[in-house]
Amino acid sequence: MKAYGKNIRISPKKLRVVAEIVRGQNAEQALKFLKFAPTKWADLMYKILASAVANAENNDNQKLSTLYISTLSVNKGIVYKRWNPVSRGRMHPILKRTSNVKLELQVK
């Protein structure tokens, strides 16, 4: 019962803050927390967790109340490189970082 989020357009450092909060929690409690958390990061994590729960319910006939988050890893994805022109014909780099998320559910 896994779900992946690849090349999510948010830096891994910001996404790890939310991941640290919900790691190891009951899936039902984590969904409630992420639904009402006031950040973009929580909304992205909610979609991944909802996908993992749907996979568990449809493919493995599991119930939401028996699931918990066993592994949740946030890794670095690809980096989009952009440039900001400055004086004297020079450029400063802008790095638009992305994240890869792997979420795995287990039965209690």
pLDDT at position 1 over 90: no
**Residue 2 pLDDT class (50, 70, 90 cuts):** very high
Summarize the confidence of residues 37-65 as an average pLDDT. Answer: 94
Q: What is the mean pLDDT of residues 40-67?
A: 94
Domains and CATH numbers, the chain: 2-107 (3.90.470.10)
Kindly tell me if the per-residue pLDDT of 108 is higher than 90: no
- Long-range contacts from 57-60, C-beta under 8 angstroms, 24+ separation: 59/1, 60/1
The percent helix, strand, coil of the chain (3-state, each to 5) is: 45, 40, 15
Kindly tell me if the per-residue pLDDT of 71 is higher than 90.
Answer: yes
pLDDT tens readout for residues 4-45: 999 999 999 999 999 999 999 999 999 999 999 998 899 999
Which tokens in the block code for residue 21? 């909060």
Mean pLDDT of 83-96: 97
Task: Give the pairing of strands 67-85 and 91-107.
Answer: antiparallel
